[in-house]
Amino acid sequence: MADDAAPTAADRTTEPALACPISPVVDIVFSRWTTPVLWTLHAHGRQRFMELQRRISRITPKVLTQRLRQLERDGLVVRTYHPEVPPRVEYEISELGRTLAPLFAHLSEWATGNLEKVDRARREYDGDPAR
């Protein structure tokens, strides 16, 4: 699709962002480890790297570094470097990142009301000998 051309019907079926307008948001916010990092920063405020790593216990330092860099690049996290001895770096959720709070609240409500139903459906599906 040309940058200046209006999307065609074919574009809407082949371009994921056009077929589903929330697709780019899902890619940004719901990639592996992004949600736990944003949730933790939102819930606990500004934190140093090791604090984050302790709170998100299964994440490796390498992956946490990658996630924080990507979230900073996306404008969802602010990194503050303090030139002290030893140097101190803190991370906090940005104003843009805070705008995701209602979305997370709705998803949390949905999870509370529906994850048991999903689990039950999975057990029924997995127990069906016709599958």
What was the pLDDT predicted at 12?
A: 54
pTM above 0.85, yes or no: no
What was the pLDDT predicted at 1?
A: 47
CB 37 within 8 A of CB 70: no
Question: Rounded to an integer, what distance in angstroms lies between the CA atom of residue 70 and that of residue 30?
Answer: 12
Report the half-sphere exposure of 119 (CA within 13 A, side-chain side). Answer: 6
Residue 49 has pLDDT above 60, yes or no: yes
Q: Which domains does the chain have, with CATH numbers?
A: 18-99 (1.10.10.10)
Helices (H), 1-131: 9-14, 16-19, 23-29, 34-44, 49-55, 61-73, 95-98, 101-127
